Amino acid sequence: MTDIVRDAPLSWRDLAAVAAGARLILSPATKDRISHARALVEAIVAKGIRAYGVNTGVGALSDTVVDVSRQRQLSRNLIMSHAVGVGAKLSALEARAIMAAAVNNHAHGYSGVRLDVVETMLDLLNAGFAPEVPSQGSVGYLAHMAHIALLLLGEGHVLADGERLTGAEALKRVGREPLVLEAKEGLSILNGTPCATGLAAIALSRAYRLLSWTDIAAAMSFESLNGQIAAFDPKSLALHASPGLRETGRRLSALLANSEILAQSAGARTQDALSLRSVPQVHGAARDLLAYVGTVVDTELRSVTDNPVVSGTEAAPEVFSEAHAVGAGIALAMDALAPAMGLVASMSERRTDRLVNPLVSGLPPFLAADSGANSGFMILQYTALSLVGENRRLAAPASLDAGVTSGLQEDLICHPTPAALKLLALLDNAEAILAIELLAAAQAADLRTDGLAKAPATAAVWRAIRAIVPSYADDRPLAGDVETLRPLLHATPIA
């Protein structure tokens, strides 16, 4: 992988690349910005300027003064007291994306952490370590960030090539010692929206890949159901202004080009069911929204989201207590993307139902070669429908959950991290729904008896599926086939 140099702010695609193993390097100018901000914090401490989380407590304790002798203790104690996460751990990709986003936030040069702190995080990241971060426990970001921050103190755990190490062992492997955090550093490491932006970057990466594969699955189902290709005529689709719609139409036309099956079925019906003919409209709308959400996440990454921020000169330092860490934009964007991807997955289940339903498919009932003794894909469609229902529940907006914390000081909660986590859970389900459609479409292709050739692109996908999953004859649990197919969906689409 190509190294990524953090000079200008990172993009969500950069975060996803670093999470997957690309090295992240600080430019000289970035190092200077970080060091300048640290000098401002030291000037603020020396001059006794009131600054939230520097020489005061946090939350409802913001008016409680913390003298110089206890500011190191404050930084350490913030990490310890905020590491309250519970539940299953984040994936390695998710945890590493959050770390990369945290580095990006400090690199703006307004946080005031020492360069040593940022470089320690980078050393752990570039060594391939993935922090163990419980997925539950943050209404905003604090608990997740605290579990990552533990590593800097030699606490917590990481995974490295399947090996579980303590924070101290991980630091030793990269030639570092546990840090003693100085004034403001504990708060700055916890603060901001890196948690939500990191998770959002992974969600976007997965959603783009999943949508590309859903185009492929839709094309295979369309062909197996003898669809009317005129619905995807470029002249017709050009009448709609949506860039996503037109892109989806181009992809479908390429996927289905030179299909003898569709040439034979042309004109057999006036129009197909909406789950077939409206693929450009639905997938296209999701594509447009994905592009917009990407701009929201990139905007957040270009923004300083620490609180407080420091500015000015060492002679005249300034400190601003604001609310850039609230993350409302990310919360709303994640909440918008969840129903969009849920709709795409729901449409996939509808196509699966048409493939297995003998009333509309023209294929053997439930794609079973020996109907009656064999149930084929009858119950696998139930599974897809169950996941569609779960996605409907996951698509409810997290940003409206509200809540009050810290003795009424933090009385508005936007839930950006829960919104991103909810979207990631929905994408897990969507992936399984899509795998089911691909399996059903491949089985439908197996059962054709007319001898007509598939489109070269759909034939290539069919061969890729059959290379890892054989045709089904009620001879094994179908659940295993769904899991076997998932890794294919994590790869770049074939077509």
Residue type, 361: S
Q: How many CB atoms lie within 10 A of CB 412?
A: 11
Distance CA 209, CA 220 (A): 17
Structure tokens at 363: 């294929």
Q: What is the per-residue pLDDT across 334-356, written as a single tens digit (0 to 9) for each?
A: 999 999 999 999 999 999 999 99
pTM score, two decimals? 0.95
For residue 55, which of 34, 36, 69 has the smallest C-alpha distance?
69
| Average pLDDT score over residue span 29-48 | 94
Distance CA 233, CA 231 (A): 6
| Average pLDDT score over residue span 275-281 | 97
- pLDDT category at 371 given cuts 50, 70, 90 is confident
Structural domains in the chain plus CATH codes:
4-191 (1.10.275.10), 201-489 (1.20.200.10)
End-to-end alpha carbon distance in the chain: 23
C-alpha R_g of the chain: 26
Q: How many CB atoms lie within 10 A of CB 161?
A: 7
Scanning 108-258, the segments in alpha helix (DSSP H) are 115-126, 142-152, 167-173, 185-190, 194-224, 234-237, 243-256
Structure tokens at 375: 């149930």
CB neighbours of 88 closer than 8 A, spacing ≥ 6?
Answer: 134, 135, 136
At residue 120, the pLDDT reads 98
Calculated CA dihedral for residues 246, 251, 257, 263, nearest 10 degrees: -60
Report the catalytic residues: 52
Judged against a pLDDT cut of 80, whether residue 469 lies above it is answered with yes
At residue 407, the pLDDT reads 65
At residue 138, the pLDDT reads 80
For residue 431, which of 485, 381, 394, 481 has the smallest C-alpha distance?
485
At residue 197, the pLDDT reads 97
At residue 25, the pLDDT reads 97
- pLDDT category at 224 given cuts 50, 70, 90 is very high
Judged against a pLDDT cut of 70, whether residue 202 lies above it is answered with yes
Distance CA 396, CA 212 (A): 25
For residue 377, which of 454, 441, 449 has the smallest C-alpha distance?
441
Distance CA 429, CA 426 (A): 5
Q: What is the per-residue pLDDT across 111-159, written as a single tens digit (0 to 9) for each?
A: 999 999 999 999 999 999 999 999 998 876 789 999 999 999 999 999 9
At residue 60, the pLDDT reads 66
At residue 266, the pLDDT reads 93
Q: Up-side HSE of residue 395: CA atoms within 13 Å toward CB?
A: 19
Judged against a pLDDT cut of 80, whether residue 321 lies above it is answered with yes
Q: Quick one: how far is CA 128 from the chain centroid?
A: 19
Measured in degrees and rounded to the nearest 5, phi and psi for residue 24 equal -110, 130
Judged against a pLDDT cut of 80, whether residue 63 lies above it is answered with no
| Average pLDDT score over residue span 225-238 | 95
For residue 188, which of 44, 52, 62 has the smallest C-alpha distance?
52
Strands 130-131 vs 86-89: parallel, antiparallel or unpaired: unpaired
Q: What is the per-residue pLDDT across 395-443, written as a single tens digit (0 to 9) for each?
A: 999 888 767 676 656 666 778 999 999 999 999 999 999 999 999 999 9
Let me know how long the chain is: 495
Distance CA 342, CA 337 (A): 8
Angle between helices 92-107 and 194-224 (to 10 degrees): 130
At residue 411, the pLDDT reads 64
For residue 195, which of 135, 282, 122 has the smallest C-alpha distance?
135
- Hunting for tokens 């986590």 — which residue is that? 421
3-state secondary structure of 373: coil
Angle between helices 28-47 and 115-126 (to 10 degrees): 140
